Structure 1
Amino acid sequence: MRSELELLANCCIEAAELPLSYRTLPPEQTLAGTPRVGSARLGQMGSRTIGVWELTPSISTDIEVDEFFIVLSGRATVAFADGRPPLELKPGVLGRLEAGTATRWIVTETLRKVYIA
């Protein structure tokens, strides 16, 4: 389940402390561990959705959507099925993922990010 919280104009929140709604990843996406995904949708900007997302230590797979993100906390490596160099994620890293890209997420410390997708 995903929580929805409308971030009002001219306001701010502490994204690193925001309570999230959690779910377990489906078995077909889980390669190791028991990954739990937390998220909170904060609103829309045009056709883009803005939110906070978190993944607990584990190894899992995904097919990405178009997304910009900034890592708030944790550490992970995002490996690409097509062999391009992996992304090393840590606090402060700004990244972009392309829709349709097959990835493997190797999360060593619970990863939390703000996303625009």
Structure 2
Amino acid sequence: MRKTIMISLDSFKNLADTPVGEFKLKPTSRTEGQTEAANVLWEAPNGGTSIGVWECTPGRFTADRTAAGEYCHIISGRASVSHVDGSNTREIGPGDLLVLPQGWVGEWTIHEHMRKLFVISADA
């Protein structure tokens, strides 16, 4: 029988003000000086799913969701996201939900400092 693990719903209260920690250089950035910070609010015991808040400064970076998919709920900021071949570009902003299925590879261009809630899961 599979055991269900509940977390406190307060973990996701007021995501606009949840601290994200120290900003560090974005490793996959194509823009010099671009930084990011994240705060993982919950992680499955098996490591297969993590939920948290992420922020990033303006610039371009590559993203690889080969190992796990990602659901992104945009809290603030604006960006363009496109597939690795430049196709299927989508503009995203506050209130949008972006789904990057497992296997997706592409590029983000952050136009305005961005904050998002993320769910990364090998089941996505």
Q: TM-score range by the shorter chain?
A: 0.7 to 0.9
Kept after mapping to 1: 8 A contact 2:80/2:92: yes
Structure-2-length-normalised TM-score:
0.76
Q: What is the identity, as a one-letter code, of the residue corresponding to 2:60?
A: I
Structure 1 moving runs of 4+ over 4 Å: none
2:102 matches 1:103: no
**Alignment match, 1:89:** 92
Kept after mapping to 2: 8 A contact 1:73/1:112: yes
* Structure with higher strand content: 1
How many residues of Structure 1 are paired with residues of Structure 2 in the alignment?
108
CA RMSD of aligned residues (A): 1.9
Measured in 1, the distance between the counterparts of 2:8 and 2:90 equals 33
**Which residues in structure 2 correspond to 1:51-90 (within 5 Å)?**
51-64=52-65, 65-90=68-93
**Alignment match, 1:19:** 19
Identity among equivalent pairs (%): 28
Task: Structure 1: give runs of 5+ residues left out of the alignment.
Answer: 1-7
Structure-1-length-normalised TM-score:
0.80
1:10 Cα deviation from its structure 2 partner: 4.1
Larger Rg: 2
Measured in 2, the distance between the counterparts of 1:85 and 1:42 equals 31
**Alignment match, 1:42:** 41
Kept after mapping to 2: 8 A contact 1:33/1:59: no
Measured in 2, the distance between the counterparts of 1:105 and 1:38 equals 16
Measured in 1, the distance between the counterparts of 2:44 and 2:37 equals 21
1:85 Cα deviation from its structure 2 partner: 1.1
1:100 Cα deviation from its structure 2 partner: 3.3
1:95 Cα deviation from its structure 2 partner: 1.2
> Aligned to 1:19, what secondary structure does the other structure show?
coil
